[in-house]
Copies of this chain bind each other. A is one copy, B any other.
Amino acid sequence: MSIPVEGVVPPVVVARHEDGSLDQVSYVRNINRLIDAGVHGLFILGSSGEGVFCTASEREQIIADTMEAVKGRVPVLVGCIETQTAKVIEQVKAAEAHGVDGVVVTAPFYALGGLDQVEEHFRQVANATSLPVLAYDIPVCVHVKLPVALLVQLGLEGVLHGVKDSSGDDVSFRNLVIANREAGSPLALFTGHEVVVDGAYLSGADGSVPGLGNVDPEGYVRQWNAFKAGDWETVRKEQDRLARVMAVARLATSVFGFGAGVGGFKVALKHLGVFESAAMPAPVPQLTGAEQDAIRDVLVETGLLSA
């Protein structure tokens, strides 16, 4: 099993009990549901997967639970998101020991040092593992935008095998797709923006990593199949529908950012009977009762839940 070269690869949301501890039963239930829906891979311990909230022992548990539940049915990518190189390599090694299929790594953060150090970081991480390494381009969190030329160069050298683009910069993504194609497509390119997956497919993306795929995996798989069939009207209509479902991640007013987005996904999963609780990792609060009710309304209006 190698890394997924294409398709829908949801970033798996972490299930917790009300006391904050990991809820393995709910977590595995979601994984099986995603695979049953036809997703082409799973991405764990990324931004939506609470990678930066988990202690080392929680990471171990989540990787182990995932690999045991997946049983090789789809490839598993593991986010190894840490401030600097040595700490990332430590996480990569730990993931490697579980037999995962690839790792997803951001630029270093906190202490910034420029693009030369970003490049050296990826080189050293790749050198330390036999696993495929995907770059995770997420400037809103690490405050560096990965340049197209650097990504393609590292792809050509075999340092990188793919990119998960959460840059919010569709212009740059288009340029990346074109540069990658002209270089012989060394990189598999995934978009992380769930409400414009159609545009990313049009740009030439190889797949998507939609957080909302936890809530409506069938929708993203249907959209993927329409894309492969060249049926753009269906791709577009499915996207418009999914953009309306995405309201579950947008309507919180008590929190914003991760707490509103992933918090909303967890509430939806609770309403859908997949999760037992919508508990969040400290210091993030769970959404309020009123917000949870509003999310239920979204699910009902969009047909994912019966009234």
Contacts and interface: CB of A to CB of B under 8 A. Distances in A.
Nearest to A181: B240
A111 B243 contact: no
A11 to B, nearest CB: 13
By CB atoms of chain B within 10 A, which of A236, A239, A282 has the most? Answer: A282
Contacts of A118: 283
A141 interface: yes
A168 B84 CA distance: 24
Contact of A112 (B53, B83, B170, B257): B257
B142 A170 contact: no
Given A141-B111, A174-B243, A83 B117 contact: no
A87 interface: yes
A94 B243 CA distance: 41
Interface string A47-83: 1000011111010000000000000000000000101
Contacts of A81: 83, 110
Nearest to A112: B257
Q: Report, as a range, how many residues of chain A touch the other chain.
A: 35 or more
Contacts of A204: 240
A120 B283 contact: yes
A204 B47 CA distance: 29
Nearest to A263: B113
B195 A196 contact: no
Given A243-B175, A282-B120, A113 B170 contact: no
A183 B131 CA distance: 49
B174 A171 contact: no
